[in-house]
Amino acid sequence: MSKNLLFTCVGLNHVTSPIEERETLAFTGDELREQLPQIAADLGGAVLLSTCNRTELYATVPEGEGGDLIRLLNDAKSAAVSDKHFYVLQHAAAANHLLRVASGVDSMVLGESQILGQVREAMSIATDAATLNGTLSYLFHSAIHAGKRARSETNIGRHAVSVGSAAVSLARKSLGDLAGKTVLVISAGSMGKLAARALAQQTQSHILVANRTQERAVALADQLGPETEAVDFDHLRDALLVSDIVISGTSAEGFVIGPDDVKPVMESRADRGLLFIDIAVPRDVDPSVRDISGVHLCDIDDIEAVTNEGRSGRRAEVENVEAIISEEVAAFEEWWRSLDVVPVISALRERAEAIRLREIKRTLGKMDLDDTDRKRIEAMTAAIVKKMLDRPIARLKNGSDKGLYMEALEDLFDIHPSGSRPRSPAGGH
């Protein structure tokens, strides 16, 4: 990897774009594994993070070339999302953003912990795809470390809600007490589990779980107790007919529920309304079901209003989390600066060693010495070279102006390592 490349993030999230835009760039787990090697092919490394609230591509590219990453994202999904919906961040700003994401302070649900697992999974997928270069590896490990610190050293995660539990709060806000209500949860994946568990813990409702893989629905129902039962995914209409609330959070690419499913159900329900809460991205419920009498539909963007409640206590912890993030970003910048000195140190040592070996060969060739004496002279000259280089190398590693020392050593010893980044005349970056 050429060191004049900068750590870069391009993405869109719940702040910069509506769900209609986000869902066009949402990647399933299988799509991530399929598309990532293709996206990374011309980049020398990439990590793709896709959740219900964001899609972000992390890579190392030259300064000012984030637009190419936007094009790659759009091409991967055959989308045409406008540049205005994206943010483009580089170097320290990109590092700060990734750490804020992993720490839960950039989430719709402030302090939620699910995002840390999603960051870890994104790194794991990149590792398996061999698209994780040195810079990306360093920063994603730092992000996971910062996320763990945020949750262990601060109270940012205390009483934080998940998107699933926020959906339950939204249902309660719309219908009041949920005791005795029948709630259909479509998905036994991560989103469905969170919603179903919140229902089981916080309400006395009857819970139905539907999943394309019936075994997973049965397993989740068994975990949650006698008030939960699995239903056949192929008989969703029957489940809709008896439900008061439907919470759907699958990873399907198309709509799971459409007008043709809902209209006959509503015609059989007399005056009983039906509340849909769609927490999936892409959406599970066709927005046109809103036009059916008696149907009320909320989507992931409606969750934000609910999550704003009770944020004040967690918001007070953001400053403590930001302090952790600042430490981690500073460590990244120090590590990044050290990359410049490594090739210079290596070149300096190689030059000194070449001179030592040349002089040893010339001198010892004229002397009649046994192996023991030769080894002693070898050790002595190696020790002299090491001690001569110790101070300049220490200055390179720890000096207040590494750039100045690097330029001086390169000039004095005529070393010009190809791996070092171009520097300004003042030695800055």
Sheet order of strands, 6-13 included: 46-50, 54-61, 6-13, 87-90
Contacts of 343 (CB under 8 A, 6+ apart): 417, 418, 419, 420
Nearest to 107 by CA among 70, 72, 147: 147
Residue 110 DSSP label: T
Report the phi/psi class of residue 427: left, alpha or beta, with left for phi > 0 and alpha for psi in -120 to 50: left
Helix axes 311-364, 134-153, angle to 10 degrees: 140
Q: Which of 19, 25, 52, 76 is catalytic?
A: 52
Indicate the SS3 state at residue 279. Answer: coil
- What is the spatial distance between Cα 16 and Cα 32, in angstroms, rounded to a whole number? 22
CA-to-CA separations, 142 to 32, 146, 199, in angstroms, rounded: 22, 6, 35
Residue 23 DSSP label: G
Give yes or no: 9 in active site: no
Taken in order 363, 369, 372, 376, the sign of the CA dihedral is negative
Q: How many Cα atoms within 13 Å fall on the side-chain side of residue 354? A: 8
- What is the spatial distance between Cα 417 and Cα 414, in angstroms, rounded to a whole number? 10
Backbone angles phi, psi at 209, to 5 degrees: -120, 125
Residue for token digits 């262990």?
Answer: 152
Structure tokens at 66: 């984030």
CA-to-CA separations, 36 to 33, 191, 293, in angstroms, rounded: 6, 23, 43
- What is the spatial distance between Cα 249 and Cα 230, in angstroms, rounded to a whole number? 16
Contacts for 351-354: CB closer than 8 Å, 24+ residues apart: 351/413, 351/414, 351/415, 352/385, 352/388, 352/389, 353/385
Contacts of 226 (CB under 8 A, 6+ apart): none
- What is the spatial distance between Cα 306 and Cα 192, in angstroms, rounded to a whole number? 18
- The residues carrying an active-site annotation are 52
